[in-house]
Amino acid sequence: MNRRQLSLISFVILFFFIGVYTYAWDVSVRFDAANQGPIRPFTSAGGSIGTTYYEDFGVTDTFGPDDYTNDGRYVNRCSTGCGTNCYWANLCRSSQSATCNAVSCADNPYDSCVCFDTGNCYRNNGWFTLRTNITNDIHKYEILGTAHADCYFSGHGLTQGVSVINPAGNFEITSVDYCSANGDNKGQGSYCTIDMPTGVISWKGGSTCGGCCACEDSGSVYIRMTVESIADTNPPTLNNFNDPGEWTNDCNIQTAWSCTDSNSGMSTTEPYKLYRYNNGLWNDLGWTTNTSHSYMATEFDNIAYGLECKDMEGNVGGPWYTTQYTRCDMTQPTPTISINNNQIVTNITSVNLILGYTDAGSGIFECRYKNESMAWTNWQTCVPNKLWTTTSGDGIKTIYYELKDKVGNVNQTSDTIILDTIPPSLIAQPTSFNIISPQNITFNALCDDLSGSGCNTTHITIPSLSKQCNILGGTGSCDITTEECAYGTHEYTINATDFAKNQNITTGLINIYQEEGCDCVLSQTYCGTSCVEGVCSSSGNEPFVYFNRATTATTVKLSTIETIYVNVKNPTYATKSVSLYLGSFDNIKNWVWFDGHKYDSGRRNISIQLGPKEERTITVKVLGGMPGQYNLAIGSDDNSINKYDEITVNVISDSNTGGIFSSTPGLGIISLFIIMFLGGILR
């Protein structure tokens, strides 16, 4: 089972043994007991009990129990010369006789088997962890050592500890050569265990001698195993992949990346492959050792990147992609500004800005504004309308407007307006202050505004007469008409306005006298409406209706159609609606109609509307149906004299036609057919 698949229980055990440690390590060791000898954990330098030491595989340790760096020492009544059958004393005699006191050595293991020459007769002792590098992937790992001696049942020879192959690392125990610890007969227990799936090695060793014993009977441990690299099947992981963003104002679009592989490591020759999307296609840029890339894109083209990473074992991670299309925008936004809707001048400093803002690329971000020779406002949200205050003082005012898009492209525009707060100068009056109605009143005006926006209009009114006239450009003259019979003293107002709507107003009085010989005027009163042919016409007077005898044909040839003209006159100042009719006690009433109403059911009746003082001519059509003399009347709603008129119409036969119809009263055959035809239509 791969250690990456350790159960939760195994991890709890490991946590108890080694605690939490974030360093990337391969193997750890901790000695919980190591009596009668120094500790050498992965180094010749001494260690201490209870401390966990961490190291990596891949090196070979060159120190050990045979390098004569360890201490041999004299222990009272139990020196390095003692042992079963005087083992070490005999060894001293045979190999170190020149320096060992042979007289004092005997076969008695307790009393006289003593060698005081501890400088030459000793046994190496101590506790070691050793690594041996066989290949890059195979390593030997040893835990070994012996105690100096164990006397008086004191447990001086006890050894105990734990070592762990990192469960999150890249190594596992593949075989065990030895796993032994010296037994114990003093109730302390002994064991040596190697849990290959979890990589946990633990041991405990004591003493098996009685009383004071030699080193070979005291605590010892010897553990050796083979540790190999775990086959790497995991792909690299992505550390970072720079996303250039959605929009940029630099068409040199760049990205950078990095990957890691905690097992076999990243490939040294082709660790990265980049893909680039541009012009609507993905492009494979091949394997590389580069960790960055830049591409000069076409403006507004969609750019994206993809990435794969490879480790030393050929495992490929990815692909990973940037999260969005990146487009470059180097085009400035388009601002537009209009002051007061393109008004040229104003007479107040408060103006309204009509603003436009468009951008073909990344979109509008913010706007700002300023007056000429003034500081910009802060950047702010763009709006279509904005109230603004110009600087004071008459003259041309320039307002600047700047626009920024989302990638920082800016563009500026401006508009001007003339500030004019001074009214124009004005000289104006009527040519005469005494007028006889219905004469015109002529007003002359001279307007001057050369230092401002210029004169626009001089407006003249006489409110009491409801009369007015205008002088475009301000300088010139205009007339106001007076009505018949008008009189009295009236106030006039002359108002000169410049293009900024500044006003200069003057007033005065004018006298209007009645025209002599106006019959409708009695004493000093004046006609309420007007004089019509010497008669005062009020709102109660009705229209005149009469035949125009000067233009009317009163003789009609048989079987022909002639035109008769009727005049209708409205003598009042009010709009009048007039209903007219044609009538006769003779048969001619069947042969007449108002022009344009020939085929109407009410061909002899029409209604017209006359404006104030309007006179209109109405045409009537007459058919010569049968020779004779006939009376024809035109009238309005009643038979008042002004609303009724009558003429005589003679129908004659053509003297050149001859025949029975030439002079005989009655209808000719042609007229008969016409009358029958019209009668059928006009019924």
Please provide the average confidence, as pLDDT, over all residues in the chain. 80
pLDDT for the residue numbered 232? 80
pLDDT for the residue numbered 663? 38
143 lies in the same domain as 62: yes
* 164 part of a folded domain: yes
Confidence class of residue 586 from pLDDT cuts 50, 70 and 90? Answer: confident
* 114 part of a folded domain: no
* 628 part of a folded domain: yes
Q: Rounded distance, CA 157 to CA 75, Å? A: 13
Least confident of 79-83, 121-125, 167-171, 235-239: 79-83
314 lies in the same domain as 367: no
pLDDT for the residue numbered 16? 42
Could you tell me the pTM of the whole model?
0.46
Q: Both tokens of residue 266? A: 């990243």
Per-residue pLDDT of 509-532, as tens digits, reads: 999 987 655 444 443 344 444 444
> 3-class DSSP state for residue 34?
strand
- Evaluate if residue 682 carries a pLDDT over 50: no
Least confident of 37-46, 61-70, 580-589: 61-70
pLDDT for the residue numbered 299? 95
> 3-class DSSP state for residue 679?
helix
Show the CA angle centred on residue 358, arms to residues 278 and 414, nearest 5°.
135
- Evaluate if residue 220 carries a pLDDT over 90: no
State which residues form the domain around 472. 425-513
Count the residues in the chain.
Answer: 683
- Evaluate if residue 106 carries a pLDDT over 50: no
Least confident of 91-100, 200-209, 445-454, 491-500: 91-100
275 lies in the same domain as 211: no
Q: Rounded distance, CA 47 to CA 52, Å? A: 9
CB count in 10 Å sphere of residue 658: 10
- Evaluate if residue 662 carries a pLDDT over 50: no
Q: Rounded distance, CA 105 to CA 93, Å? A: 9
629 lies in the same domain as 481: no
Q: Residue 12, class by beta-carbon neighbours within 10 Å (0-12 exposed, 13-18 middle, 19+ buried)?
A: exposed
388 lies in the same domain as 359: yes
The CATH number linked to 368 is 2.60.40.10
CB count in 10 Å sphere of residue 104: 14
Residues pairing with 497 in the sheet: 457, 503
Q: Read off the DSSP letter of residue 604.
A: T
Per-residue pLDDT of 122-156, as tens digits, reads: 455 678 899 999 988 899 999 988 776 554 445 56
For residue 137, give the nearest of 4, 270, 24, 26 by alpha carbon: 26
Least confident of 332-341, 438-447, 543-552, 577-586: 543-552
* 80 part of a folded domain: no
Confidence class of residue 64 from pLDDT cuts 50, 70 and 90? Answer: low
Cβ(613)–Cβ(544) below 8 Å: no
**Cis amide bond preceding 319, omega within 30:** yes
* 101 part of a folded domain: no
Q: Rounded distance, CA 184 to CA 143, Å? A: 19
Most confident of 25-39, 122-136, 362-376, 618-632: 362-376
* 78 part of a folded domain: no
Q: Rounded distance, CA 136 to CA 354, Å? A: 77
Least confident of 246-250, 368-372, 543-547, 646-650: 543-547
* 79 part of a folded domain: no
154 lies in the same domain as 273: no
What residue type is assigned to position 592 of the chain? Answer: V
| Domain boundary residue, one of 466, 498, 513 | 513
Residues pairing with 458 in the sheet: 471, 496
57 lies in the same domain as 145: yes
Per-residue pLDDT of 161-211, as tens digits, reads: 999 999 988 899 999 999 998 887 766 778 999 999 999 999 998 776 655
Q: Both tokens of residue 60? A: 């070979």
The CATH number linked to 450 is 2.60.40.1930
370 lies in the same domain as 477: no
- 658: Cβ contacts below 8 Å, ≥ 6 apart: none
Confidence class of residue 36 from pLDDT cuts 50, 70 and 90? Answer: low
Confidence class of residue 72 from pLDDT cuts 50, 70 and 90? Answer: very low
pLDDT for the residue numbered 585? 84
175 lies in the same domain as 259: no
261 lies in the same domain as 147: no
392 lies in the same domain as 455: no
Q: Both tokens of residue 121? A: 């007769």
pLDDT for the residue numbered 126? 75
623 lies in the same domain as 657: yes
For residue 220, give the nearest of 32, 36, 80, 29 by alpha carbon: 36
For residue 635, give the nearest of 586, 568, 572 by alpha carbon: 568
| Domain boundary residue, one of 371, 389, 419 | 419
| Domain boundary residue, one of 419, 448, 477 | 419
Average the pLDDT over 27-35 and give the result: 91
* 527 part of a folded domain: no
Per cent of the chain over pLDDT 90 is 52
How many structural domains compose the chain?
Answer: 5
- Evaluate if residue 664 carries a pLDDT over 80: no
- 24: Cβ contacts below 8 Å, ≥ 6 apart: 169, 262
pLDDT for the residue numbered 667? 42
